[in-house]
Structure 1
């Protein structure tokens, strides 16, 4: 028992040795990469860049002739240029060109990129306008279709009212053939895609509705939108808002 207590215990968890080996291999690989990076010979461009950055970061000294002339004229390090001290403090930065392209190549690339962006914006604007125009046209068509269906419904309503009121006055034949609704048309009036049979003449639905409602108001003192038969023309003109659906909204 004492021997077991004095003997250091080993970690026997499953998979732990494998994890350690993988971790050690990764660390070894990273160290090898760092060593290779340090021992790698730098290219000429990299060496030039390092030397250039080192020179640009260092401040100008008395060995610089231009700086020496400025000091003779009273200039002090860190002081702004100009008589009133409103000029620059640091030297103008250098833009080193390292590529093989011409001097105007970057400006050309920039201009082409701006033109491409502007063309893209114009296309988006035109597409937006086209979508808005299509939406407006759809709304207009939908509104016209709704108004047309409403007028067709008002016309059928006027035809039924005309037929009923004419029969009450012992009128056996309508003034116009389309003033009364046909029996077979009565059965089909609720079908959504039905073509109105009363459009066989050259008159449009709105024209027929206007003519028929005028006939009902004149002959029977009846308004389909009020749904009322008035006593006479004076009663009709006094109490009815008007002779169109818009007057009754």
Structure 2
């Protein structure tokens, strides 16, 4: 053969394995590894220095440099201010009540058009206002529901009180009518239903009872109570809320606060 071919390295041989450095974390670095590491760091620094800056980076550096430096006499505007008596650090204006620091520079870096930020701000405010309205509507609904519950509870309480006053009036009417020798109530419902019985054998009385029952069904408990208490006051000079039978109508009008429960509270 013209030349001897170089033998390929055997990666499984002991000779190759022995030449490799152990670079596990925590182990001291050998001289070869240190040199390789330093060489790589120098290469990175060289690449970083040789990297060309973008146009934006160059503009930013120039702008920061100019903004950090104060205006000098070479600036025509500043020179005119000095001629008019302005000194560095003073406020602007005839009475020195204007601004001291220059108006800050706002750099637009995005690609959105003019007015986009105001539009986004307005949308955010509208969204917040919509959320506040929803919260307000929810609170009003909760208050309305609570008021409805209280009103319903109050109505039930008043209905129970009216029913109790009606039963109390019926018992008083039965007792006072019996003392006067009245054996039949003025109206069928003036006495407690369980305290008196009608003659069911006569067909005419049954028809009258049916007619009276139809009329009674049209009356509410409050209407019954008003009619019955008026009867007790007129016939017996009695007030169920006072619990007293007065001597006559004059005595009733003079000493009874009124003809309803509210007058006795």
Using the size of structure 1 for normalisation, the TM-score is 0.70
Which structure has the greater CA radius of gyration? 2
- Find the counterpart in structure 2 of residue 116 from structure 1: 127
Shift of 1:154: 0.2
Match of 1:241 in 2: 257
Q: Which residue of 2 aligns with 1:155?
A: 166
Q: Distance in 1 between matches of 2:110 and 2:70?
A: 28
State the match for 1:7 in structure 2. none
Unaligned runs of 5+ in 1: 1-20, 22-34, 185-196
Tell me what 2:224 maps to: 208
Task: Give CA deviations for 1:96-155 in whole Å, capped at 9, x if unaligned.
Answer: 111111111011111111111222222222222222222222222222221121111100
2:179 corresponds to 1:168: yes
CA–CA distance in structure 2, aligned partners of residues 230 and 71 of structure 1: 106
The alignment yields a C-alpha RMSD, in angstroms, of 3.0
The whole-number CA distance in structure 2 between the counterparts of 1:122 and 1:59 is 51
Residues 219 and 65 (structure 1), Cα distance of their counterparts in 2 relative to 1, 3 Å cut: same
2:97 counterpart of 1:86: yes
SS at match of 2:77: helix
Distance in structure 1 (CA, Å) of the matches to 2:60 and 2:214: 91
Partners of 1:206 and 1:140 in 2: CA distance? 18
Determine whether 1:232 maps to 2:238.
no
Q: What's the CA shift for 1:233? A: 2.2
**Superposition deviation, residue 166 in structure 1:** 1.7
- Helix, strand or coil: the match of 2:218? coil
Q: Within the alignment, does 1:128 sit opposite 2:144 as a pair?
A: no
1:171-209 superposed Cα distances (whole Å, 9 cap, x missing partner):
22211111111229xxxxxxxxxxxx9995211111110
Of residues 90, 97, 101 in structure 1, which corresponds to 2:112? 101
Q: How many pairs does the alignment contain?
A: 202
Contact preservation (8 Å) 1:199, 1:205: no
Whole-angstrom CA distance in 2 between matches of 1:103 and 1:181:
86
Match of 1:28 in 2: none
Distance change (3 Å), C-alpha of 1:237 and 1:86: closer
Which residue in 2 is equivalent to 1:14? Answer: none
1:11 maps to which residue? none
